[in-house]
A and B are shown apart, each in its own frame.
Chain A
């Protein structure tokens, strides 16, 4: 099986003592600890303003595991990308911000849509999954 590890470390001097939180996970298929996600989709692209776009071209299979990493590489801190899942707003990524979400992108409407604000945003994304529904030509 493929072994893909995703880790986060949060550090801060917000509190009276320094804070550090770390978490790491091996990206697994749904409901197992023995079989890792073995498919991925990766992209780096310019996102123009004006319309909402589907980030994921193909739809991950329902009830399967998916993990999405998304980063806004814009250097202007006023630029942001609005993110919706299943038509519900779930987050905003300003220039430099990133997100990592485990989710069930279960159908064409249930995947991730993104909208650029402020100007053309540069984004990078990686989707780890265990199968997608390919779109016929």
Chain B
């Protein structure tokens, strides 16, 4: 069985009066089991050229609904280096395409998703590069 782990580290020496340090690791498993996830999209790097949702092209599809069984884990990073160059992740399955996450330059996110919604990304600037990967169990 494959073992996939995600480790989160948070640190600050000056946000609080004392040092802040947090580290946690989870093993990515198939839902309600201790069996490790088996599939991944692999690491992707793509250019987003759309600056709006709902337009015909230029958005990047991060995940297609029901591609994986629950729970698919999404890792995403905005590779832009200029502040204010944002990536907007929206739910393309739900009416109105609600925006779910916003990543400014350099930001990353890690989200255990429901798996039943298609996620797409557009950006404030054309082009903006995004790095992403989904890990889970294919179905």
Interface flags for A55-76 (1: CB within 8 Å of B; 0: not) read 0000000000101010100000
Tell me, rounded to whole Å, the shortest Cβ–Cβ distance linking B135 to chain A: 7
A2:B14 contact, CB within 8 angstroms: yes
A100:B22 contact, CB within 8 angstroms: no
Which residues of B92-111 have CB atoms within 8 Å of chain A's CB atoms? 94, 98-111
Among the listed B12, B70, B104, B135, which residue makes an inter-chain contact with A102, where contact means beta carbons less than 8 Å apart? Answer: B104
Number of interface residues of A (CB under 8 A): 55
A78:B83 contact, CB within 8 angstroms: no
A99:B110 contact, CB within 8 angstroms: yes
B104:A31 contact, CB within 8 angstroms: yes
**What secondary structure prevails in chain A residues at the interface with B?**
strand
In this complex, what residue of B is CB-closest to A13?
B2
B10:A101 contact, CB within 8 angstroms: no
B112:A88 contact, CB within 8 angstroms: no
A77 to B91, CA, bound (A): 27
The answer to the question of A132 belonging to the interface, with a C-beta cut-off of 8 Å to chain B, is no
B12:A3 contact, CB within 8 angstroms: yes
Among the listed A92, A101, A104, which residue makes an inter-chain contact with B109, where contact means beta carbons less than 8 Å apart? Answer: A101
The answer to the question of B3 belonging to the interface, with a C-beta cut-off of 8 Å to chain A, is yes
- On chain B, the residues within 8 Å of A3 by CB distance are 12-15
A6:B113 contact, CB within 8 angstroms: no
The answer to the question of B71 belonging to the interface, with a C-beta cut-off of 8 Å to chain A, is yes
A33 to B94, CA, bound (A): 33
B37:A92 contact, CB within 8 angstroms: no
- On chain B, the residues within 8 Å of A15 by CB distance are 40, 42
12 A-B residue pairings within 8 Å (CB atoms): A5-B10, A6-B9, A8-B110, A12-B4, A14-B4, A14-B37, A24-B108, A31-B104, A38-B15, A69-B10, A71-B24, A92-B70
Please give the residue numbers on chain B whose beta carbons come within 8 Å of chain A beta carbons, in ascending order.
2-16, 20, 22, 24, 26-29, 31-34, 37-40, 42-43, 70-71, 75, 77, 83-84, 91, 94, 98-114, 117, 131, 133, 135
Known: A9-B7, A15-B40, A33-B106. 11 other contacts (CB 8 A): A3-B12, A6-B10, A10-B133, A26-B106, A28-B83, A67-B107, A89-B114, A92-B112, A94-B31, A96-B27, A104-B99
Chain A to chain B: the 6 pairs with minimum beta-carbon distance, closest first: A12-B4, A4-B12, A31-B84, A2-B15, A23-B108, A14-B2
Please give the residue numbers on chain A whose beta carbons come within 8 Å of chain B beta carbons, in ascending order.
2-15, 19, 21, 23-26, 28, 30-34, 36-38, 40, 65, 67, 69, 71, 77-78, 85-86, 88-94, 96-104, 126
